[in-house]
Amino acid sequence: MLTSVPHWAAFLITLLVVSMTVGLHYETLQRLGNQAARWKRLRPRVRVLALIISILLLHIVEIWLFGLGLHMVNFYPALGDVSGTHSFTLGDALYLSATTYTTLGYGDLVPHGPIRFLLGTEALVGLVMITWSASFTYLEMQRFWKT
């Protein structure tokens, strides 16, 4: 399991990125909920559209957080690599992050070594963040539609 320095490094990087993602998600949804309460003069459809666009942007930022973490890890070969590409660029890292975060997982880019922990955890975090957003959206829409 965590028997070597690269494994510990991958674990700590994962912990950092997950903490940033969950913290960002919490703070953004809280602020969005407070802000949405002030959107009473907007039509319900516009309120829901603004809410959905805001949440989609939040998920894109979170995908970027994981993608940047993955891209930085790529500079340290002891932490592993990604096969399926000749040179692993930032674009590749963001693509792999997006397919992992959404649990789509095409399988064309495959991680090897300790960075698998980062990507495996990203799939779980993405699932939880998407579910959290869906619950939040449902509650906000109920509030919008009551008024």
CATH code assigned at 37? 1.10.287.70
Q: What is the DSSP letter of 79?
A: G
Distance CA 135, CA 124 (A): 17
Identify the CA nearest to 95 among candidates 64, 117, 73, 69.
Answer: 64
pTM for this model (two decimals):
0.91
Instruction: At 69, list the tokens.
Output: 């973490």
Instruction: State which residues form the domain around 65.
Output: 5-146
pLDDT of res. 69: 95
DSSP bridge pairs for 95: none
Structural contact between residues 115 and 72, judged by C-beta atoms closer than 8 angstroms: no
Question: Looking at the 3D structure of the chain, how many domains does it have?
Answer: 1
pLDDT of res. 31: 95
DSSP output for 92-131: HHHHHHHHHHTT---SSSEEESTHHHHHHHHHHHHHHHHH
Confidence bin at 48 (pLDDT 50/70/90): confident
Q: How many CB atoms lie within 10 A of CB 142?
A: 9
pLDDT in tens, 81-129: 998 877 899 999 999 999 999 999 898 999 999 999 999 999 999 999 9
pLDDT of res. 7: 92
